[in-house]
Structure 1
Amino acid sequence: MTPPTNRLQTLATGDRPQERLEKHGAGVLSDSELLAMLLRSGTKGHDVLTLSNRLIAEAGSLAGLIQWRETDFKKLKGIGRVKALQLITVMEVARRILAHAGSHTPPLIDSADKAAEFLRAYTHGLVVEKFWVLCLNRKNRLIKCVEITSGTASATLAHPREVFREAIKESASAIICAHNHPSGDPTPSSADIKMTRQLRDAGQTVDITLLDHVVLGQTGSDPSGLGYYSFRSAGLI
């Protein structure tokens, strides 16, 4: 059987990704070439460019890889544990950059829809529950977004002590709490309702207003079609 062609070896020296990067900058590289630069090497019978193209094809796009987990990457021959973890790290960096894009001016977050929009990049592709507190100033502009906990695929808990410790640390006048439901359905559980009442009462004690608690899901899985649930809109705060 004829061995597969090594695409890197067939390219002229000046056409190889590293040489083009050094000469013209990263902007001239294709998605697969950028990914190849991260992977650095392929395996026997699978050169790095072919491996990169296969990854993008399987994910549907370079952006699609941001949702992948270690097991997804390791399904492809040539991706072992080290490379899978390396790629997961890169995708998490990309996720965080997206979350903070355009954040030079502190955003105004005074409603559930603005909170959901701000946190969309944080929740993209998550398969576990996370809990965040948005610390706000007197004008409801964001001081800091703090991740309080990261739980399992089925549950996560946040204690009022941890939430308001961060709010006090940031000298917040108000907060919006948020957590995601990996299932996509943002309908709150009984535990979510109980926790929200505890947060509301704790906020009154320390004189920091709980503006809302937003449960983040996906539009297609949300009975209301919004993609999120607002405790304030529901009259529960």
Structure 2
Amino acid sequence: MSFKNLPLESLPREKLLALGPGALADAELLALLLRTGIPGKNVLQLAQELLDGFGGLNGLLHAGLDDLKRIKGLGGSAKRSNLAAVLEVARRAVAQRLRERDLFDAPMAVKQYVQLHLAARPHEVFAALFLDAQHRLIAMEELFRGTLTQTSVYPREVVACALRHHAAAVILAHNHPSGCVEPSRADEALTQTLQAALALIDVRVLDHVIVAPGQALSMAERGLV
């Protein structure tokens, strides 16, 4: 049977088996994960709607469970959990690859790493990436949640974590659920406070990265660190 005579739902599967996964379009790959469509919308249409709604595979990679739940056709737990599991596997694989490299050989890798971990969070999360003297990643720790200000992020706890990891440098990071990654005055003040606190133990703040779905900003590149 030729591809053109196959039922629509069978086309991506048969195409993959005949030509390999590289021959499939993004929507076809996603259709294989979704398996079926919904009334009035076939599986390929549903897959394309997802890609359009999240701005492609990269945007979908940063989607959280709540984001998926809002898409008509993914309200059922089976489809949503299957897709969420695959996205999490992809996130962890990419994070592992980024973690194994010297982050400052490619500064963009820092933004990608932070995006994978924080961009899809529905609430603000403050984290720190602790680095050794060669600027290799030792650990990333999520330290605070909620509205981030100088009073809600405690410098002594960041300092304690840096000492515990024997870090030589730190990259600060947090997300903006609003979708805007422009640093606020509070972000700038917090960065300066933490720089001063960490300088007392000879730990340098290399950057403060702010992320949102599909966006990332380096305060160091802005000259703010």
TM-score by length of 2: 0.67
Q: Which residue is equivalent to 1:119?
A: 111
Deviations 1:16-50 (A, max 9, x none): 33344345432222211211221223334443233
Q: Does 1:193 align with 2:189?
A: yes
Q: Is the 8 A contact 1:175 1:208 kept in 2?
A: no
Quick one: distance in 2 between partners of 1:194 and 1:32?
42
Q: Which has the higher contact order (CA 8 A, sep 6+)?
A: 2
CA RMSD of aligned residues (A): 4.1
- Shift of the 228–25 alpha-carbon distance from structure 1 to 2, 3 Å rule, reads same
Q: Is the 8 A contact 1:144 1:170 kept in 2?
A: yes
- Which one of 4, 29, 35 corresponds to residue 30 of structure 2? 35
Q: How does 1:32-181 map to 2 (within 5 A)?
A: 32-70=27-65, 72-82=67-77, 83-101=79-97, 103-108=99-104, 114=107, 118-123=110-115, 125-126=119-120, 127-139=122-134, 141-149=135-143, 151-152=145-146, 154-155=147-148, 157-160=152-155, 162-181=157-176
Give the secondary structure class of the aligned counterpart of 1:108. helix
Q: How far did 1:146 drift? A: 0.4
Q: How far did 1:176 drift? A: 2.9
Q: How far did 1:118 drift? A: 1.2
Q: How far did 1:189 drift? A: 0.7
Q: Which runs of 5+ in 2 are unaligned?
A: none
Q: Is the 8 A contact 1:130 1:179 kept in 2?
A: yes
Bigger radius of gyration among the two: 1
Q: Which residue is equivalent to 1:214?
A: 208
Give the secondary structure class of the aligned counterpart of 2:59. helix
Q: Which runs of 5+ in 1 are unaligned?
A: 1-7
Quick one: distance in 1 between partners of 2:167 and 2:55?
42
Quick one: distance in 1 between partners of 2:72 and 2:99?
39
Q: How far did 1:161 drift? A: 5.0
TM-score by length of 1: 0.64
Deviations 1:45-64 (A, max 9, x none): 44323321332244443333
Number of residue pairs matched?
A: 211
Runs of 4+ in 1 over 6 A off after TM superposition: none
Q: Is the 8 A contact 1:132 1:145 kept in 2?
A: no
